Amino acid sequence: MTALTAEEKEQLIVRNLQEVLGQDAMRGVLKERDLRIYWGTATTGKPHIAYFVPMSKVADFLKAGCEVTILFADLHAYLDNMKAPWSLLQERTKYYEAVIKAMLTSLGVPLEKLKFVRGTDYQLSKEYTLDVYRLSSVVTQHDAKKAGAEVVKQVEHPLMSGILYPGLQALDEEYLKVDAQFGGVDQRKIFTFAEKYLPQLGYGKRVHLMNPMIPGLAGGKMSSSEEDSKIDLLDSAAKVKSKIKKAFCEPGNIEDNGLLKFVKHVVFPMFPAGEGFQIRRKPEFGGDKCFDKYEDLEAYFAAQELHPGDLKASVEVYINRLLDPIRKAFDDDAHRQLTERAYPTTAGGASKKGAAAQATSENTPDKAEFTVGQIVDASKHPDADTLCVLTVDIGGDVKKSIVSNLMAHYELEALKGRLVVTLTNMKSSKMRGVESEGLVMCAFNADKYEPLAVPEGTKVGERIIVEGFDNTKAEVAQLNPKKKVWDKIQAELKTNADGEALWKEFSLLTMNGDRVTCGLKGCNIK
């Protein structure tokens, strides 16, 4: 194979990108040596077919001789609203590595110049931590929030973790020793943040390579949380057919068309020289046609000379061609077990009914917002001898007033400062004339109520999850009192013989994967 010139390498690196910041600097590097690039991904939801869009560019980088680092941003994943507990993040990192290798193999690229790094391999070091502090001394809160506006969920009272996020991503460029960072155009504010602030720490400004955002199959952004908007990498051919059939593909519409964008950014770049995009049609509908350039296909569709159904049928063929090697790679016990560990559908193994299957009901614990709170004040109810009024700090400068019967079991002073598990998405109601804005979760028997306990080191405001369910959404809808959703969820809450808190057979966990417990064993919880 003939060695590529610097100009040919540059063409491969920048093709199909929406924007490049620092292209002159990149040319300077390419005259001397191959470019070092990193792409980062937070190891949260399952990678889906949209991941082929960045992977097709990673394939271009490798073909151009670049040294490519893929960063599994496990710490970033935890900081971004604590989307997964540490125990799952470790397994998801392994899953991501396995699936990305399978994707790049499907694209037919060599992996010799590719390496994988976990964020926690270096982000917990003394040097990195000191640089976080140095960065915090020069970055304004305004700039940090602005940088993360397109990436970190924006709320009225943001956690410090979301404000730190852009700075960590900027520092990654220095600690990974790269010349360039690659990402979607939604990362642009973080990239310009890095260009502004890294030099203030004495570090060099990097090149930034940006992919366009690709519409999902249903129109809008392709999301792992919207089933109809994406195709899973392990979906069967039948599922692919079903989802492609439902895909939004308006005649002549070339803008909000996820299928066309996928063809442009994934299918055409993967073709060997001389192979074009094949449309198979009956003669009465125009017959077969081959497109050597994407622009010709787009123009043909815009002129409504190509029916959406024929485009869908052709894209389906190419998607299955990409997915077949991945399906085969994951069709063994080791990969199936890895998938189950990373994205568990059961709490105790294959013999139990999967939590995901049960989640079709509205009476499942992912509808309940359990949050760690701290009792900061406790006083007697003004109109009830057995009730007290608790003021509970649930993080983010939010305090809830909760009416409880714990006064019958504890001295009020003994309750102050205690960490508890609270239910915070109930509709508030008056109890003997005093507004109550939630519940302190307690196990109980005929003699005693005892609040659930969280391990030492658990933070106020941290979400409590139920194993196998997605309780990590930043906002959970208010429980519907008319449908008695909470009554049905609460009926399945209990402690087992070891004092572990469960919903049915599924454990209540902190974001670190530690179990919520109680001294009262074998009891109901409410």
* Tens digit of each residue's pLDDT (9 = 90 or more) over 369-409: 999 999 999 999 999 888 999 999 998 889 999 999 998 89
- Which residues contact residue 475 at a Cβ distance below 8 angstroms, ignoring those fewer than 6 apart? none
The listed range with the strongest mean pLDDT (131-140, 141-150, 465-474) is 131-140
Select the more confidently predicted residue: 40 or 242. Answer: 40
Residue type, 504: K
**Predicted pLDDT at 210:** 97
3-state SS of 317-339 is: HHHHHHHHHHHHHCCCHHHHHHH
Checking if the pLDDT of 470 tops 80, the result is: no
Residue type, 488: K
Mean pLDDT of 28-33: 96
With contact defined as beta carbons under 8 Å apart, do 521 and 482 qualify?
Answer: no
Mean pLDDT of 181-188: 94
The number of residues making up the chain comes to 526
**Predicted pLDDT at 408:** 87
Checking if the pLDDT of 352 tops 60, the result is: no
- DSSP annotation string for 166-190: HHHHHHHHHHTT-SEEEEEGGGHHH
Mean pLDDT, all residues of the chain: 87
Q: What percent of the chain has pLDDT over 70?
A: 89
pTM score, two decimals?
A: 0.66
Mean pLDDT of 328-355: 70
Alpha-carbon gap, residue 501 to 517, rounded angstroms: 5
Candidate from 151-155, 202-206, 272-276 with smallest mean pLDDT: 151-155
**Predicted pLDDT at 88:** 78
Res. 89 pLDDT band, cuts 50 70 90: confident
Checking if the pLDDT of 164 tops 90, the result is: no
Mean pLDDT of 22-37: 96
Residue 357 CB burial class (10 angstroms; 0-12, 13-18, ≥19): exposed
Alpha-carbon gap, residue 459 to 514, rounded angstroms: 13
Candidate from 51-55, 108-112, 300-304 with smallest mean pLDDT: 108-112
- Of 385, 392, 478, 380, nearest to 429 (Cα)? 478
Domain 237-342 has CATH 1.10.240.10: yes
CATH number corresponding to 365-509: 2.40.50.140
Mean pLDDT of 505-525: 88
Q: What percent of the chain has pLDDT over 90?
A: 56
**Predicted pLDDT at 466:** 87
- Of 335, 301, 329, nearest to 315 (Cα)? 301
Alpha-carbon gap, residue 231 to 322, rounded angstroms: 12
Tens digit of each residue's pLDDT (9 = 90 or more) over 388-398: 999 999 988 89
For the chain, where do the domains classified as CATH 3.40.50.620 start and end? 6-211
Candidate from 85-99, 164-178, 344-358 with smallest mean pLDDT: 344-358
Res. 3 pLDDT band, cuts 50 70 90: confident
Alpha-carbon gap, residue 326 to 458, rounded angstroms: 39
**Predicted pLDDT at 364:** 82
Strands 36-41, 180-184: parallel, antiparallel or unpaired by DSSP?
parallel
Q: Which fold has domain 6-211?
A: Rossmann fold (3.40.50)
**Predicted pLDDT at 86:** 72
Residue 126 CB burial class (10 angstroms; 0-12, 13-18, ≥19): exposed
Say which residue the tokens 């392994």 belong to. Answer: 94
Res. 345 pLDDT band, cuts 50 70 90: low
Res. 251 pLDDT band, cuts 50 70 90: very high
Select the more confidently predicted residue: 125 or 258. Answer: 125
Mean pLDDT of 103-129: 92
Tens digit of each residue's pLDDT (9 = 90 or more) over 437-447: 999 999 999 88
Select the more confidently predicted residue: 462 or 505. Answer: 462
Checking if the pLDDT of 285 tops 60, the result is: yes
**Predicted pLDDT at 473:** 55
For the chain, where do the domains classified as CATH 1.10.240.10 start and end? 237-342
3-state SS of 489-520 is: HHCCEEECCCCEEEECCEEEECCCCCECECCC
Checking if the pLDDT of 168 tops 50, the result is: yes
**Predicted pLDDT at 160:** 77
- Of 114, 68, 93, 110, nearest to 209 (Cα)? 68
Res. 353 pLDDT band, cuts 50 70 90: very low
3-state SS of 413-424 is: HHHCCCEEEEEC
**Predicted pLDDT at 223:** 46
For the chain, where do the domains classified as CATH 2.40.50.140 start and end? 365-509
72 CB neighbour count, 10 Å cutoff = 25
Mean pLDDT of 456-483: 76
**Predicted pLDDT at 153:** 60
Mean pLDDT of 14-18: 94
**Predicted pLDDT at 349:** 38
Select the more confidently predicted residue: 229 or 372. Answer: 372
